[in-house]
Amino acid sequence: AQSVSQHNHHVILSEAASLELGCNYSYGGTVNLFWYVQYPGQHLQLLLKYFSGDPLVKGIKGFEAEFIKSKFSFNLRKPSVQWSDTAEYFCAVNAQDTGRRALTFGSGTRLQVQP
Amino acid sequence: GAGVSQTPSNKVTEKGKYVELRCDPISGHTALYWYRQSLGQGPEFLIYFQGTGAADDSGLPNDRFFAVRPEGSVSTLKIQRTERGDSAVYLCASSSSLSGGARNEQFFGPGTRLTVL
């Protein structure tokens, strides 16, 4: 079974600060990795995903994430946050080797960007 | 185009009652998922349909929970003898079944907030 840990539960940043949100997963096989975002009053939407190849993936709105296999990590980054990035961010995985589609989510990180 | 829709948006019921939650996936999406999100937690998988059949129901917590998708489109999640611990936001998602399988993006609906008094 897979599990996902997001260590930062609540992050407060000022605009233009750099962002890094941690995500670690536990699974013995190959995984697909996702970051989803939920803006206030909106539903979950995909930021970016990683399956294979270049471990640095770029998503929408200037976000990127780096897969480090040796650390079982998939941290989300953004060089300069904006007030509109205030949202809850969820890391998720599913098993690439079994093809099982169910996503296992972390508990989320609430990001608050102050103007 | 239209996204995933869920009805009702809010449901308040009393302990012991039966509830049905509906999900309308994106047109043409053959894969449909149900998740449950409790306060302060990430979504937790319940069940996955491929077409009309439940391909993976390993996340259903007990036999009070049941879901159907009789025509391969709309799905209904049914909860019998509701308990206070069932209170949560129930999320539905759908994805395309073109090549990609587990890699395909799951598109989420707005959820149904269930409150059991």
> Tens digit of pLDDT for each residue in A97-109?
887 899 999 999 9
Residue B108 distance to chain A (closest CA, Å): 6
Which residue, B26, B29, B23, is CA-closest to B7?
A: B23
Rounded to an integer, the average pLDDT of B89-112 is: 88
How far apart are the C-alpha atoms of B94 and A54, rounded to whole Å? 27
| Residues of chain B neighbouring A100 (CB-CB closer than 8 A) | 56, 102
**pLDDT exceeds cutoff 70 at B98:** no
A64-68 and A87-95 as β-strands: parallel, antiparallel, unpaired?
A: unpaired
pLDDT on residue B97:
72
How far apart are the C-alpha atoms of B61 and B58, rounded to whole Å? 8
For residue B107, name the pLDDT band (cuts at 50, 70, 90).
very high
**pLDDT exceeds cutoff 90 at B109:** yes
> Tens digit of pLDDT for each residue in B66-76?
999 999 999 99
For residue B99, name the pLDDT band (cuts at 50, 70, 90).
low
Q: Tokens 């995933």 map to which residue?
A: B4
Percent of chain A scored above 70 by pLDDT? 100
pLDDT on residue B12:
98
Rounded to an integer, the average pLDDT of B18-24 is: 98
**pLDDT exceeds cutoff 90 at A86:** yes
**pLDDT exceeds cutoff 90 at A23:** yes
Residue of A5, A32, A43 best to disrupt the B interface, most CBs of B under 10 A: A43
Which residue, A110, A111, A81, A87, is CA-closest to A17?
A: A81
Encode B95-116: b = buried (16+ Cβ within 10 Å), e = exposed: beeeeeebbbebbbbbbbebeb
pLDDT on residue B1:
56
pLDDT on residue A99:
78
**Where is average pLDDT lowest: A78-82, B21-25, B49-53?**
B49-53
Task: Compare all CA atoms of chain B with the CA of A88 and give the residue at the minimum distance.
Answer: B42
